[in-house]
Structure 1
């Protein structure tokens, strides 16, 4: 009858007993000081240690997405939470919960779009699949355009790493070509250029490395948590009490709904 207890949770991630911890079959003491954090993320999610060059490419996405300033709702939430007296862990949890489909979900959505295009025939299918996507989801194409940056400086840097990785045989480049074809298609059909943004570029890397679309959002959350922690800590050092989204002298717009 003890099996109904021991089998209550079943996991291939960790094996642990007094004096021993093994993660995905690797003794933890053999990983400490030997595996980088990006490599550990890969190992924990996929059950194998990656090619160090692939881990480096994953790490680039984690570095690129760490922060985008207090105008980002998640960062603003972390700072406001601290001024309300919350400790760092609560401030971080509050901020992470802001990372939904609109603020934080574009990378996952872009991977989904790239995979659909790849399954439909690759770059030649871009036009038709973009039309289908817009019919289902609206005109917004995840991973392209930015409300703040005319050209998102993070995207070209990441894409250059993908191009290098393709030359080195680490990735195939199939999703890089799909993303660039989308970018060209949008430039030809929109009234102004719609360049790739951070979400589109990280989605290329996640797709090239074989991460399923839902994990793209999880990886973004891991990355943005660094910025969230930094801002929460900074705000805790600056002080301030009950800071709202705007200074007290500013008021909202009231209208009568009657």
Structure 2
């Protein structure tokens, strides 16, 4: 009721404005308010992609150009302009120069805001510094960590702020393997139950984890590493690969334990083992703002037990947060199967499937990020997949997906880590659901670190303003 006019902002490329015009014509009662459209790209040549916006010309029909959008909208009474200056003029005309607020009072109000003292500094975290296109864990870039360190070493870094020395690393490895050897609780898994929900059950019901001590100087990191070992056991229960963990010698790298739990094979493929570990390490943390970290931190403020707080975070990892890799993997497989079945270029098959998804209102998974325009985890995982000989047709397709999406949708979205993992998992011949499993597995290390930091440094039942968190850890440094 408080809206007097609606501005539609668009650009050349795609066909959303034409579809809007068609809907206005068919359902005028849905649009009781006046509309004005601002469409950019009036002078772009037709048929040629201009940056992230390009006109699309199909046989027998032209759409996506400035003229086609202008004609469609004006035919249903929506005026179309091409500049912000003209937009102001048209809006004033439609609203008959209606005044919404007193400018003098507005400036007085804003002056009090401008003159107000700066807000108090936020609360601190020593774990991860999150920046556009870069992630630092205690000063080390996550790309270097993925390339040079294993999962247990990375978990230790998250909790303690330094990598373990050789003797300590060996102690941590033994703790993790001992945890993986112990039987897991009996957990019933419903048909098609999300893997995050099943893992929550394991965490909550596992007396071995609940009773493991966390006191002392190294209590927090030992509990974290024990939890990581238990998670390998949980995965073996979900995937029915427990037998592969029954004959662990205790001398193998922990990456081999993960490989056995994931594949059920006792003969370890070293390249695949390292690739799986790299994907897990790439997902360990993204600061305090993701929903999974927030859920764990909120539980920690009430001093919930470790396993309950981490389970809260795991339960928040859904297809919206962290689980897009599985759906991305399914999309890539669908595109490649269509290409082979219809004997057409895979790029063409992908364009057709994307158009269908968009028409049906489905999301194209594996693209877009709230912060990164170039996900810092992307290239290191691609390089790993190439070096290990794993990269195949799914990885090759995914490298083109962003460009294809731009051609179809008329907008540019960056590739994200979910899609990278989904493509690699598919080229490895694993179930697409493992993309989400790897994300969760890695994130358990980060959730553990945030839990113990909250317990050690913050008061109980505090009100957490997540956007006020400040990284106060080590500055940039290189792995020696």
Do both share a fold (TM > 0.5)? Answer: yes
| Residues 210-250 of structure 1: per-residue CA shift (max 9 Å, x gap) | 11112221221111111111111111111222234538xxx
Report if aligned partners of 1:187, 1:194 keep a CA contact under 8 Å in 2. yes
Give the Cα–Cα distance (whole angstroms) in 1 for the partners of residues 377 and 241 of structure 2.
33
Question: 1:47 Cα deviation (Å)?
Answer: 1.5
The 5 A counterparts of 1:207-246 are: 207-246=426-465
Structure 1 residue 99: Cα displacement: 0.7
> CA separation in 1, counterparts of 2:367 and 2:325?
10
Which of residues 290, 295, 308 is equivalent to 1:90? Answer: 308
Change (3 A) 1:111 1:12: closer
8 Å CA contact 1:83–1:235 kept in 2: the answer is: yes
Name the TM-score, length of structure 2 as normaliser: 0.43
- Give the count of matched residue pairs: 222
In structure 1, the partner of 2:132 is none
8 Å Cα contact 2:327-2:432 kept in structure 1: yes
Cα distance in structure 1, aligned partners of 2:245 and 2:417: 34
Change (3 A) 1:80 1:208: same
2:247 alignment counterpart: 27
CA distance 1:149–1:78, shift in 2 (3 Å): same
- Distance, in Å, in 2 between the alignment partners of 1:12 and 1:195 is 36
Q: 2:241 aligns with which of 13, 25, 48?
A: 13
Q: Distance in 2 between matches of 1:25 and 1:149?
A: 38
**Alignment-derived partner of residue 264 in structure 2:** 47
Distance 2:445 2:361 in 1: 31
Contact 2:351 2:408 in 1 (8 A): no
- If you compute each CA radius of gyration, which structure gives the higher value, 1 or 2? 2
Task: Report what 1:194 is aligned to.
Answer: 413
Measured in 1, the distance between the counterparts of 2:330 and 2:361 equals 12
Task: Identify if the C-alpha distance between structure 1 residues 148 and 12 changes in structure 2 by more than 3 Å, giving closer, same or farther.
Answer: closer
Distance in 2, Cα, partners of 1:157 & 1:106: 19
Please provide the CA RMSD for this pair: 2.2
1:175, distance to aligned residue in structure 2 (A): 0.6
For 2:133, the equivalent position in structure 1 comes to none
Distance 1:25 1:98, change over 3 A: closer
* Structure 2 unaligned spans of 5+: 1-236, 340-345, 467-480
Distance 1:59 1:153 in 2: 17
Pairing 1:66-215 to 2, within 5 Å after superposition: 66-121=284-339, 122-138=346-362, 140-165=363-388, 170-171=389-390, 173-215=392-434
Counterpart CA distance in 2 for 1:185 and 1:62 is 28
CA–CA distance in structure 1, aligned partners of residues 398 and 465 of structure 2: 38
TM-score (norm 1): 0.78
Q: Determine the C-alpha separation between the residues in 2 that align with 1:94 and 1:211.
A: 27
> How far does residue 26 in structure 1 lie from its aligned partner after superposition?
5.4
**Secondary structure of the structure 1 residue equivalent to 2:308:** helix
Partner Cα separation in structure 1 for residue 333 and residue 378 of structure 2:
19
> 1:100-159 deviations in whole A, cap 9, x for unaligned?
121121111111111111211244411012123334452x32111111112111112211
The DSSP-based 3-state class of the residue aligned with 2:322 is coil
In the aligned structure 1, how far is the partner of 2:357 from the partner of 2:300?
40
Q: Relative to structure 1, is the Cα distance of residues 181 and 83 closer, same or farther in structure 2, using a 3 angstrom cutoff? A: same
After superposition, the C-alpha distances for 1:172-212 in whole angstroms (9 at most, x for unaligned) are 51111110121221233455532211111111211111111
C-alpha displacement at 1:63, in angstroms?
0.8
**If each structure's strand is expressed as a fraction of its own residues, which one has the higher value?**
2
Give the corresponding residue for 1:255: none
Give the structure, 1 or 2, with the largest relative contact order (CA under 8 Å, sep 6 or more): 1
For 2:316 and 2:443, the matched residues in 1 are separated by: 11
List runs of 5+ in structure 1 lacking aligned partners.
1-9, 15-22, 248-258
